[in-house]
Amino acid sequence: MSPDLAAYLAPAGPRILAHRGLSLEAPENTLLAFVAALSAGATHLETDVHASSDGVAVLSHDPTLPNKGPALNRLTMAQLARIDLGRGQTYCSLAEALAAFPAALFNVDIKSADAVLPAAQAIHTAQAGHRVLLTSFSETRRRRVVRAAPGTVSSASAAGVAVLLVAVALRQHWALRWLSRGVSAIQVPEHAGPLRIVTPRVIRRMHAIGIEVHVWTVNDPAQMRRLLALGVDGLVTDRCDLAARLAHSPGSHALGDTG
């Protein structure tokens, strides 16, 4: 395990990645949602990044304002900061979030090409590389942001996950370490249609090459319990309050059938 990965994965135990914060009583991807998530026991804050028109990394899952409003990248960060999202919250920059929670671990999904350099700059300025795991659906974006933000670690892109899963299915175990270069985790749904992705064999093979398995988006306590028993390393969840309670309950991490 690299020093950078070891730093990011602290503290020990299941990773409870608060999906866009905890938005039961707060707008998602806002400072208030992140306060709620950390207070509820989340170990990591999961968030999404686009770019404003003036090149600032802004936290938002969607590329547009609510209710089919204009694209975020057509507005400046100052304009976005004046938009009322509810509960006194506005759009927040990645820099603001990193500064507001200087000890928090972040999982940052780069949603657009124009967000790559602004996100890297925010991470560099905050000297936060050791506490950020970067991810993107796009392999191109993933590679670009990792190069631009030294010291960070990343999870595999969609294409990277597919290649690793094919290698596991074909029992090409010799190739896994080479195929997983530069990747510290895979973040996957339990199923993709009829295909079950998270299996004991996938977990074993990923662990054998030092890669963590995080599953999204898991909100049902029974599913959380079952996945933790299988040995997954993290749960990406809208209900980090439930997941944290379950993760710290006696016997919740007992390994299930690994056959």
**Which residues form the catalytic set?**
19, 61
Which three-class secondary structure state does DSSP give residue 226? helix
What's the number of CA atoms in the CB half-sphere (13 Å) around residue 146?
A: 20
Residues listed for the chain? 259
Dump the DSSP string for 44-90: EEEEEEEE-TTS-EEE-SSSB-TTT--BGGGS-HHHHTTS--BTTB-
* Cβ 180 vs Cβ 205: under 8 Å: no
Phi, psi (rounded to 5 degrees) for 247: -65, -25
